[in-house]
């Protein structure tokens, strides 16, 4: 049996959490998949997996072998990609991480167009607002929205978005509009949990930078939840233009204290620092840079 096939099959079983899932991913029968892993264990003389009727789990030897196997397979894929790059063809699995709201609203509509241009690229898109470790978690590229990108990664700025303080007309009719940052301390605030400043909101105004300690009625890790509650007249939010620009243009939300500005953030494509950038990564970065070259009004 080819050692590479055994290794690939074993890793597929671990990733899928079952022989059935691995068989489907590899296009093999369950019996063949199970046999390959069994032959691998026989050849190595160790048990790699604990098997029960309900689940699979790695043994201590299995954990070590899985980690090394992943390194070998990743190295092989990169070596193949380097050879393919001579022809300029983008191909293979492209693992992408992006923030949830931005990924749904502004990236999801683009994946079809990218696949039309690069049909040999398979996409695996993971949405999460936490900051992932690209190398540790095996992502090829991440989209991040931040004041400054990580200095340990290669990055390209795709666009910029300002952070907007806003509320619905119904809320303002009932509670009045804050005129100064200090007024926010007495307003109902819907806060984004991952905001870098926490509940301390800073603004640049006519007399320089000022800050206010808000007292949020709601904390949520979802920008869409903040927006929905604001639209329902529940409070004041501080959210990016790419999320609220259409609401502001339609009058469903009203920008507050325009003389006091919050930060403007960059929208970046980041990928691990390497001497060789796979064509699939370069193709996606170029594609996104072109698509976001002229961001919609209000961003």
Encode pLDDT of 204-229 as tens digits.
999 899 999 999 999 999 999 999 99
Rounded Cα–Cα distance for residues 97 and 81 (Å): 20
Lowest-confidence pick of 30-34, 51-55, 120-124: 51-55
- Domain 3-85 belongs in CATH node 1.10.10.10: yes
In this structure, whether the domain defined by 161-264 belongs to CATH 3.40.50.720 is answered with no
Task: Round to whole Å and give the CA distance between 65 and 178.
Answer: 60
Quick one: pLDDT at residue 2? 79
* Listed range (58-67, 100-109, 180-189) with the worst mean pLDDT: 58-67
Q: How deeply is 196 buried, as exposed, middle or buried, from its count of CB atoms within 10 A (0-12, 13-18, 19+)?
A: exposed
* pLDDT band at residue 53 using 50, 70 and 90 as cut-offs: confident
Range(s) for CATH 1.10.10.10 in the chain?
3-85
What pLDDT sits at residue 57? 87
Task: Provide the β-strand partners of residue 161.
Answer: 265
pLDDT at 81 over 80: no
Of 272, 279, 276, nearest in space to 137 by CA: 272
- For the entire predicted model, the pTM comes to 0.68
CB neighbour list of residue 24: distance below 8 Å, 6 or more residues apart: 16
pLDDT tens for each residue of 110-145: 999 999 999 999 999 999 888 878 877 888 999 999
CATH code 3.40.190.10 region(s) in the chain: 94-158+267-291, 161-264
The helix (H) or strand (E) run that includes residue 254 is strand 254-255
Higher-confidence residue: 153 or 12?
A: 12
Superfamily of chain region 94-158+267-291: Periplasmic binding protein-like II (3.40.190.10)
* Residue for token pair 């093999």: 28
* Residue 86 confidence (pLDDT): 53
Position of tokens 């070998």? 72
Q: Quick check: 185 and 213 in contact, CB under 8 A?
A: yes
C-alpha span between 102 and 144 (Å, rounded): 10
Asked whether residue 260 carries a pLDDT value surpassing 90, the answer given is: yes
């Amino acid at each position: 049996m080819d050692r590479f096939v055994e290794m690939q099959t074993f890793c597929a079983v671990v990733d899928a959490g079952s022989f059935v899932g691995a068989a489907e991913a590899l296009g093999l029968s369950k019996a063949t998949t199970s046999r390959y892993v069994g032959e691998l264990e026989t050849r190595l003389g160790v048990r790699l997996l604990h098997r029960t009727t309900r689940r699979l789990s790695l043994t201590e030897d299995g954990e070590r072998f899985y980690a090394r196997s992943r390194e070998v397979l990743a190295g092989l894929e990169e070596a193949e990609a380097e050879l393919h790059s001579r022809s300029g063809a983008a191909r293979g699995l492209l693992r992408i991480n992006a923030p949830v709201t931005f990924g749904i609203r502004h990236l999801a509509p683009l994946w079809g167009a990218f696949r039309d241009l690069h049909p040999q690229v398979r996409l695996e898109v993971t949405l999460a607002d936490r900051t992932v470790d690209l190398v540790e978690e095996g992502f090829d590229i991440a989209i991040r929205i931040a004041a400054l990108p990580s200095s340990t990664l290669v990055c390209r700025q795709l666009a910029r978005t300002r952070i907007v303080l806003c509320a619905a007309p119904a809320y303002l009719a009932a509670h009045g509009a804050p005129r100064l940052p200090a007024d926010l301390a007495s307003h109902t605030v819907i806060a984004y949990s991952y905001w870098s400043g926490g509940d301390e909101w800073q603004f640049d105004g006519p007399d320089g930078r000022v800050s206010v300690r808000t007292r949020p009625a709601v904390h949520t890790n979802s920008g869409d939840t903040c927006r929905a509650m604001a639209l329902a007249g529940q409070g004041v939010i501080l959210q990016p233009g790419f999320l609220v620009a259409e609401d502001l243009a339609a009058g469903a939300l009203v920008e507050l204290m325009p003389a006091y500005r919050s930060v403007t953030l960059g929208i970046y494509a980041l990928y691990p620092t390497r001497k060789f950038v796979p064509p699939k990564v370069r193709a996606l970065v170029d594609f996104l840079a072109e698509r976001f070259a002229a961001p919609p009004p209000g961003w």
